[in-house]
Amino acid sequence: MVTEKKILTIDLGTSSIRTALTLVKGDKKHTTIATTPSRGIKNGSIINVPSAKDSLRSALNKLKLESTSAVPLEAYVIVPGGCTLGYEVEAKISFPGIKTINYNDVNMVKNKIKEEIRRKKGLTLKNIYEIIHILPQEFIVDNVDGIQNPIGHSGRELSMRAFVILASKAYLKTLDQLLKEVGLKLRGVVLQTLASYYAVKDDKTYFNNNLFIYLGAGNTEVLYLREDAPVFFKHEPFGAEDIIDFIIQQLKVSRNEAERLFNEYGSAYAFSVNPEEVININYGTKTLRVQRILIPALIHLQLKKLAKDIKKALENEDPSFLTHLNRVYVTGGFAKLKDMPVLLEKLFKAPIVVVSPEGELKDPSLSPIEGVVNYVLSLNKRERLTDIKEDLTKDYGKEGLFSTIWRFLTQYI
């Protein structure tokens, strides 16, 4: 008998809050999503807990009405990059003689990774940030590298190269309190760009020299993958809302009018617009007729600056990130802007893929939600260790009797 698993995902965005309940049974998934306007959140940061609580509660109540299944009491939350840091770390342990590597050995090398990052970055990092992901890039047993899961291999030394993501303890504490206010427990957090990556990751695709860009209302995040593993992460506090602010500043219009102009005439690539076409801009009781190309030109200008900042960050980290770039994957609500792939392909000189999940969630803004589900399911796979922040057990996550019963009650009933 195949048991149904429930995964509750929360996306606390700048423009909207989404709650999603995914029912997983075998290879089949069904997701119900409820969306409400976001309040109390800016650029992914929770700036007003009472307002954010009201918005989240509204989204949860809407989800409970629309879902055919009971909503679990634990949730995974998508974490924005603004409160996180990312580092590459390597650690090694040695054995007295040749031995077969087991889960305890993997835990030991994982703990060495934690010690190494604290040694390199000091007490300030330890006091302010908490590790949320340890993403193995590869394991090395003696001189054999490229191993995805070392358990069962034999050798005298075990090394791990990993990409470690840390999140602000203050943010995680606020997040935990916010969920408690609406009657939920924080089950786990997933970095936004990592979730976007998992929306398209499968066993058949090998990601090498690929760039993931999340384009949201208040944030832009990039994740670079080499040899099917993350090697670089960067957050830019810039999104669609900032471009709307730029339109307000340049044209001296109201926010409602700027949003209308953006939604009706917005395009990422100004040169695709007919320069002869004329539109109306409303100034209260007055109307000004201007060339339509003006709106795409303002958007184009800001996006070009954003791309320049991303390329500079990549080049400063490793010039080969750009010279060897094979493909750029774009996701997030802002990725739906007309001609976005056209502009980005010209700026990054690489093919552009707008990520839309397969099946029900055919919308780039929903990619992180699909990705969280895939990420959670990947933690149970034996072929590859995808994230080892927590200690592995002999059965890769099997828990005590009480925890097992509680998990069954909250997720499966």
Q: What is the pLDDT of residue 2?
A: 63
- At 86, list the tokens: 């990312």
CB 243 within 8 A of CB 268: no
Return the CATH superfamily for domain 5-82+170-196+362-412.
Answer: ATPase, nucleotide binding domain (3.30.420.40)
Reference 334, options 364, 298, 374, 368; nearest CA is 364
Which residues sit opposite 353 in a β-bridge?
329
Spatial distance between the Cα atoms of 334 and 387, rounded to a whole number of angstroms: 29
- At 73, list the tokens: 């009491």
- At 295, which amino acid appears? I
pLDDT at 253 over 90: yes
pLDDT digits (tens, 9 = 90+) for 217-232: 889 999 999 999 999 9
pLDDT digits (tens, 9 = 90+) for 324-346: 999 999 999 999 999 999 999 99
pLDDT at 14 over 90: no
Helix axes 240-251, 294-317, angle to 10 degrees: 130
Q: Provide the whole-model pTM.
A: 0.88
The structural domains of the chain, with segments of one domain joined by +, span 5-82+170-196+362-412
Reference 42, options 86, 85, 80, 84; nearest CA is 80
How is residue 334 annotated by DSSP?
G
Spatial distance between the Cα atoms of 402 and 323, rounded to a whole number of angstroms: 53
Residue 395 burial (CB < 10 Å; 0-12/13-18/19+)?
Answer: exposed
pLDDT digits (tens, 9 = 90+) for 143-164: 899 999 999 999 999 999 999 9
Spatial distance between the Cα atoms of 261 and 119, rounded to a whole number of angstroms: 51
- At 195, list the tokens: 């979730």
Q: What is the pLDDT of residue 379?
A: 86
Spatial distance between the Cα atoms of 178 and 175, rounded to a whole number of angstroms: 5
Return the minimum-mean-pLDDT range out of 187-201, 254-268, 361-375: 361-375
- At 274, which amino acid appears? N
With a CB cutoff of 8 Å and minimum separation 6, the contacts of 48 are: 39, 40, 41
CB 157 within 8 A of CB 143: no
Q: What is the pLDDT of residue 406?
A: 43
Residue 89's pLDDT band, with cuts at 50, 70 and 90, is very high
CB 71 within 8 A of CB 63: yes
CB 206 within 8 A of CB 228: yes
Spatial distance between the Cα atoms of 381 and 390, rounded to a whole number of angstroms: 15
For the chain, state the CA radius of gyration. Answer: 23
Q: What is the pLDDT of residue 359?
A: 60
pLDDT at 407 over 60: no
CB 137 within 8 A of CB 154: no
pLDDT digits (tens, 9 = 90+) for 161-177: 999 999 999 999 999 99
Q: What is the pLDDT of residue 209?
A: 96
pLDDT digits (tens, 9 = 90+) for 95-124: 999 999 998 999 999 999 999 998 888 877
pLDDT at 408 over 50: no
Average pLDDT of the segment spanning 362-386: 86
Spatial distance between the Cα atoms of 270 and 276, rounded to a whole number of angstroms: 13
- At 60, list the tokens: 């949860």
CB 211 within 8 A of CB 234: no
The single residue listed with the structure tokens 């398209």 is 200
Q: What is the pLDDT of residue 285?
A: 86
Residue 357 burial (CB < 10 Å; 0-12/13-18/19+)?
Answer: buried
Reference 176, options 215, 135, 132; nearest CA is 132
Q: What is the pLDDT of residue 375?
A: 92
Top pLDDT among 363 and 304 is at: 304
pLDDT, averaged across the chain: 90
Q: What is the pLDDT of residue 361?
A: 60
